[in-house]
Structure 1
């Protein structure tokens, strides 16, 4: 089972690390969506567990209508026109094109396609995490992640993943069974 832990606040780091270790030990893959990588710098993540920074995902997001004509087509043309021993020249031309043309145009277009930060977050998480890694279960790791998880609930359900608060519990709903109270 592939599990994504949403731990943006980093207040329950040890519990998230413990649960991700259990997922990897059971033969699954785990990723942790963090708010700031610096908050997790002291934690030793087990092998097979990736920490993905949410702000980096949002920063790298570009719609296909911008990404393909601005970055992919010019790179493809340079690789086709300058093959083999001329590849170094093509790489330098590509770097210059990106620096002088693509990035300034992308910054200008970013004002248009980055108007709704919640939509950017939904699209970036869906494309980079849920679809690419084929996530089966999304676990909310700390209280600070509840708002983000609720914003992403429809995207999570649309990707075929379940939303839970722990990998432990009754299995059906991902939460511990209710304890009756006296009174």
Structure 2
């Protein structure tokens, strides 16, 4: 099994376990890495609900921010329900595929541009997994299509759709995000 398939399968399983009547409006993917080392990435798959957004809206004057800003997400949205990539199978598949792509390096090696290439590849894997969930309606056994599948990483907070292509490490949505495919949610 390829790493991409593993991430898609686990993300689909996680979303399929979300409460079907929980008022979920967005599935979240928070991308990070262990000790900021790009060789050990993971994605925290989670969700946020209408009730969470309503609670935040009472606190804030900006309804868009209360609904879509990762800073307003509850623990299930920001920290996720399950981490994909830190599981033993995911770690092994990631390393094996990174090695086969010539992206892996050891601690005593000079990382050169391997760091950025590893990060970009992992983002691409996560974007494809999120797009697949979005297009399929949100996962097996889920309550149906979600309003959005969102990626949250390093201050970049965008829904995934087949909208415009945001290119390059310097030109993504909000000035971040290599290779993001995204659209801004409507206010």
TM-score range, shorter chain: under 0.3
When you count strand as a share of all residues, which structure comes out higher?
A: 2
Higher CA-based Rg = 1
Task: Report the structure, 1 or 2, having the larger helix content.
Answer: 1
